Amino acid sequence: MKAILAIIVMILFSQGLQAQSRAITTAVPYLLLAPDSRGTALGTIGAASSPDAFSMHWNPAKYAFTDKRFGVAVSYTPWYWLLIKDYDPLDLSFGYHSFNLYFKITDRIAIATSMVYFSIGKVTFTDEYGNDLGSFQPYEFNNDVSFSYRINDVFSLGLAGRMIYSDFTRGEYIQGAETSPGISVAMDISAYYQKDISLGSKEGSISWGVNISNIGSKIAYSETQVRKDFIPTNFAAGIGFTTKFNSSNSLTFLADFNKLLVPTPPVYLMDTATGMPVYDPQGNPVIDKGMDPNVSVMRGMIQSWYDAPYGFEEEMKEWSFGIGAEYWFRSIFSARSGIYYENETKGWRRYFTTGLGVRYSYFGFDIAILVPFEETTFNEFNMRSSLIFEIGNRKK
Each residue's pLDDT tens digit, 339-391: 999 999 998 889 999 999 999 989 999 999 988 887 654 545 578 889 999 88
Instruction: For residues 337 and 176, give the distance between their C-alpha atoms in angstroms, rounded to a whole number.
Output: 49
Give the pLDDT mean for 220-243: 91
Q: Is the per-residue pLDDT at 201 higher than 70?
A: yes
Segment among 131-145, 181-195, 244-258, 370-384 with least mean pLDDT:
370-384
Q: Do residues 363 and 389 make contact, with C-beta atoms less than 8 angstroms apart?
A: yes
Name the phi and psi angles at 308, rounded to 5. -65, 130
pLDDT digits (tens, 9 = 90+) for 28-58: 999 999 999 999 999 999 999 999 999 999 9
pLDDT over 90 at 239, yes or no:
yes
Over 90: is that where the pLDDT of 59 sits?
Answer: yes
| 314 phi and psi angles, rounded to 5 deg | -70, -35
Evaluated on CA atoms 133, 16, 179, 35, the torsion sign reads negative
Distance CA 194, CA 202 (A): 17
The predicted pLDDT at position 92 comes to 63
- Asked whether the predicted pLDDT for residue 145 surpasses 90, the reply is yes
DSSP string covering 344-355, please? GGGT---EEEEE
Nearest in space to 166 (alpha carbons), one of 205, 222, 112: 222
Contacts of 305-308 with C-beta under 8 Å, sequence gap 24+, read 305/261, 307/263, 307/264, 307/266, 308/264
What pLDDT is stored for residue 376 in this prediction? 55
Instruction: Quickly state the pLDDT bin for 273 (edges 50, 70, 90).
Output: confident
Question: Closest by alpha carbon to 104, among 156, 40, 142?
Answer: 156
Query: Please, what sign has the CA dihedral across residues 296, 299, 305, 310?
Result: negative
Alpha carbon of 138 to those of 3, 7, 75, 119, 182: distances in Å?
9, 8, 20, 6, 12
For position 122, what pLDDT does the model report? Answer: 74
pLDDT of residue 89: 60
What is the model's pLDDT at position 125? Answer: 66
Q: How far is CA 190 from the centre of its chain?
A: 15
Lowest mean pLDDT among 12-21, 39-48, 286-295: 12-21
Cβ burial of 243 (10 Å; 0-12, 13-18, 19+) is: middle
Measure the CA dihedral 44/45/51/57, to 10°.
70
For residue 348, the model assigns a pLDDT of 86
> Quick check: 235 and 258 in contact, CB under 8 A?
yes
pLDDT tens for residues 301-348?
999 999 999 999 999 999 999 999 999 999 999 999 999 999 999 988
Torsion of CA 187, 343, 323, 264, to 10 degrees: 20
Instruction: Please check the confidence at residue 13 and state whether its pLDDT lies above 60.
Output: no
Can you tell me the distance from the alpha carbon of 378 to that of 96, in angstroms, rounded to the nearest whole number? 16
Percentage of the residues of the chain whose pLDDT score is greater than 90: 66
Q: Between the ranges 3-12, 171-180, 366-375, where is the mean pLDDT highest?
A: 366-375
Band (pLDDT 50/70/90 cuts) for residue 168 is confident
Residues 6+ apart with CB under 8 A from 12: 18
Helix (H) or strand (E) holding 325: strand 319-329
Q: Which pLDDT score, from 0 to 100, does residue 15 have?
A: 40
Contact 331, 394 (CB under 8 A): yes
Give the C-alpha separation, 279 to 356, whole Å: 55
Distances (CA, A) of 322 to 54, 245, 339, 345: 18, 25, 6, 17
Residue 5 has pLDDT above 70, yes or no: no
User: Spelled out in words, what is the top-level CATH class assigned to the domain 2-212+231-258+318-392?
Assistant: mainly beta
Cα–Cα separations (whole angstroms), residue 41 to 76, 94, 145: 14, 22, 25
Average pLDDT for the chain: 86
